[in-house]
Amino acid sequence: MNAFVTGGSGFIGRRLIARLVEDGVEVHALARSERAATAVRQAGAVALRGDLTDGPGLLEALAGMDVVFHLAAETDVLAPAEQHRRVTVDGTRAIVEAARAAGVPRFVHCGTEAALLAGAPLVDANEDAPLRPDSPAAYSASKAVAEQIVRDANAPDFATVVIRPRFVWGPDSSLIGAFAAAAEAGQLPWISGGHHLSDVTHVDNAVEGLILGWRRGLPGEAYFITDQERVDLRDFVSLLLELAGAPVPVLEIDGPTADATVPVPIRWFLGQPCTLRTDKAVRELGYAPVTTHQAGIAALRARGGQPAGTSASSSAGAM
């Protein structure tokens, strides 16, 4: 079996490549830079230097692939809207078109619950909740448009599946790396106390969801993937920051102050609950978490406070 991965040098991508190789799959990964190429080679993939706009080269690289895993996206939530459109929307459209033209039979897209956010919290939400391409947050809007492109492309000879993990954590988490940098700069306040109920997803569980999406996902469908262990957001983020050797913030602000000073979607992520149902993934994919919180936290403790990973554009990072 042959798989092609975009965003393979990112946090989720590296773990996905390693898992695919472990399962006996030959993996090829797109790499925009030599640094990215080194990262995907170290994970076990064959590196293809280029980007999503390289039409002829991409078409040639996709020939003979059994599946494309599309993880590449703009993950800097504060980047300009044009950057989100160019990387996330245009990049998704390009890889979808290339995969269809190359005759790839399956396409798995790494989505996010952020594609459903436009201000109101998600509480016990399932996959019937609508995408929000009209979201005032460029990150959310672009991820919604990208997901719709993928789902609209589904056809009898081109099965597309979307996997939506929430708050992906684990060793070298890019999201915790971004939080650590903000905490060190004194720019990570707790909104309304920060004690909001939230679902989260260990990177191994996110990868499990992506693999199951390839092997069992119903064409044209989307699936939420979580640890199925809900957390108090402040307590959980504080623990992850502590384990990463980063300062734990103590600053608290109220809702109106956050509305005036904290940009979206950061305000939504830190200032409201987000709980998701995984019934559909359990029923249709046979999904079950492969890493528990106890095991994931123990692994982080064993690392001895090594610094968290840093966020990188054009690599997958699910909020």
* Cα–Cα distance, 162 to 153 (Å, whole number): 12
Helix, strand, coil percentages in the chain from 3-state DSSP, rounded to 5 = 45, 20, 40
In sign, the C-alpha dihedral spanning 163, 165, 169, 175 is positive
The answer to whether 169 and 308 have CB atoms below 8 angstroms apart is no
* Cα–Cα distance, 22 to 3 (Å, whole number): 13
For residue 2, the SS3 value is strand
294-313 b/e (C-beta count within 10 Å ≥ 16 → b): eebbeebeeeeeeebbebbb
For the question of residue 223 being annotated catalytic, the response is no
The answer to whether 201 and 233 have CB atoms below 8 angstroms apart is no
Phi, psi of 15 (to 5 degrees): -70, -35
Residue indicated by tokens 């998600």: 122
Beta bridge partners of 253: 191
Set 107, 139, 190, 223: catalytic member: 139
Q: Is 119 left (phi over 0), alpha (psi -120 to 50) or beta?
A: left
* Cα–Cα distance, 77 to 266 (Å, whole number): 8
H/E segment holding residue 122: strand 122-125
Query: Length of the chain in residues, anyone?
Result: 319
Residues identified as active-site: 139
